[in-house]
Amino acid sequence: MEIKQYLDIFFKKISTIDEHSIMNLVSDIKNAYDNEKFIFLIGNGGSAAKASHLAQDLSKGVIIDQTVKKRIKALSLTDNVPYLTALANDDGYENVFVSQLRTFSKPGDYLLAISGSGNSSNVIKAAEYCKKNKIKVIGITGFDGGKLKLLSDTSVHVPLNEMAMVESIHSVIFHYVINYLRMEITGTSFKLEDFEF
């Protein structure tokens, strides 16, 4: 496949994403910020990298002025490698996220779960725990959405059966969300002329 064909597919697929679902994601994050609730992010593989990246962007990239005290409280549960591996070794990999949520989360917090398939057992167990403990579940999925889409209170779904492109579209959505939140919270955002070259 040539690059032009790949990009044509990418642009066609990204244009089919439900815009309302993206704005619901923005609204959830803004509500968490307004009410000083934590957003816990999880995922496996490429989605773990997305969880880390998005947590950093939410915590630092939305409000760039580091002297501002009120911030988005976003924490990726994929990043504490000693804790993660201890949980996996002692309690099983399917429990690495739910065990951390038992330790850190409170009712009213948010779980942002990223899963291309929507069926990763550790992500599903975490979502099920959150549903039982009044933690709102935001599911970011691909393929048919799997179990995660069904468990999610808010869902952003990329209906595509190719993991790499699903992950690429997730990245674009996340960067849009960061820019939108920056505008909402701080009144600053990118300028259209920044994209001219």
State pLDDT tens for residues 8-22. Answer: 999 999 999 999 999
> What phi and psi values does residue 38 have, to the nearest 5 degrees?
-85, 145
Is residue 194 included in any domain, yes or no? no
Residue environment code for 19-49, b if the CB has 16+ CB neighbours within 10 A, otherwise e: eebbebbbebbbebbeeebbbbbbbbebbbb
Q: What is the pLDDT of residue 1?
A: 86
Compare 188 and 107 and report the one with higher pLDDT: 107
Is residue 19 included in any domain, yes or no? yes
- pLDDT digit string, tens, across residues 135-163: 999 999 999 999 999 999 999 999 999 99
Is residue 72 included in any domain, yes or no? no
Domain that holds residue 176: 3-64+82-187
Is residue 51 included in any domain, yes or no? yes
Is residue 70 included in any domain, yes or no? no
Count: domains in the chain: 1
Write down the H helix ranges in 35-106.
46-56, 81-91, 96-104
Cα-based distances in Å from 166 to 46, 71, 171, 175, 177: 10, 29, 9, 14, 17
Is residue 197 included in any domain, yes or no? no
Is residue 71 included in any domain, yes or no? no
pTM: 0.95
CATH code for the domain of 171:
3.40.50.10490
pLDDT of 83 strictly over 90:
yes
pLDDT of 197 strictly over 60:
no
Percent with pLDDT over 90 in the chain: 93
Is residue 49 included in any domain, yes or no? yes
